[in-house]
Structure 1
Amino acid sequence: MSGLAARKHRVVTLFQRHVANPLNRRLPFQTLLETTGRSSGLPRQTPVGGRRVGDAFWLVSEFGHKAQYIRNIQADPRVRVRLSGRWHHGTARLLPDDDPVARLRALPFFNSTAVRAFGTDLMTVRVDLED
């Protein structure tokens, strides 16, 4: 990661961790992705943007393998997704060969714009929903 990309990652991550995510988690209809912490074993909830298509939920990670929730998925792909206030169990799949920029065109505009603007290493994630 270049110096500029590393700085951008640090600034965006600090803002998300300390300002945006704590506020967004409290919104009852904010989409949340819940992973299991790879070290702690505790549930970790991350506000995400994406779209349900049939029995799958699609999202694009801004920071790819550097994102903590991506690292948690690598350790344990069993997740929960809160959609419209209701929790769904599923299995997350990282899709590094998918075109994340093309995928963002099919996802909600506001979130996709932010991911493109702030992201440094985009990666598509599909969650196969079980219920």
Structure 2
Amino acid sequence: MSRPVDLKQRAVTAFQRHVGNPILRRIPLQTVLETTGRKSGLPRQAPVGGRRIGDSFWLVSEFGEKSQYVRNIRADPEVRVRLRGRWHDGTAHILTDDDPIARLRTLPRLNSTGVRVLGSSSDLLTVRVDLRN
């Protein structure tokens, strides 16, 4: 039998994949992280929330290592981030030593609340994207 956390993740992921993400990706000002699919090699876009600080974009993954975009980053850290309608190339870094709960306090409140509610506190993972343009 699946654990409640696993069931929650599967339900949230299914909703995001089939309902939320297709809609949010089309909103021009929505922040989007584009990775390269580790199996397909195709571009994969995920709406995300976070904050640009200097030349870096910070976000917290609600499902950590289980997130498809985190798995794609592990395979190829070269990504693109759409911020305010403009695409930026960058290199993503998975920060396992960063405190994701503390990091959420520095990110936009609405996104941080969503990550806390939808994710599992034991799985949260910080990602930093160093932007080049």
1:61-119 CA distances to partner (integer Å, 9 max, x unpaired)? 00011000000000000000000000000000000110001100110111100100111
Mapped partners of 2:114, 2:96: distance in 1: 20
Mapped partners of 1:32, 1:62: distance in 2: 15
Alignment of 1:70-81 (within 5 A): 70-81=70-81
In structure 1, the partner of 2:62 is 62
Q: CA RMSD in A?
A: 0.8
In structure 2, the partner of 1:45 is 45
Mapped partners of 1:45, 1:39: distance in 2: 15
**Normalised by the size of structure 2, how large is the TM-score?**
0.96
**What letter is aligned with 2:100?**
P
Aligned residues: 130
In structure 1, the partner of 2:126 is 124
In structure 2, the partner of 1:27 is 27
In structure 1, the partner of 2:16 is 16
Give aligned-pair identity as a percent: 70
**Normalised by the size of structure 1, how large is the TM-score?**
0.98
For structure 1, the 5+ residue unaligned runs are none
Match of 1:106, SS?
Answer: coil
**What letter is aligned with 1:122?**
L
Structure 1 stretches of 4+ with a deviation exceeding 4 A read: none
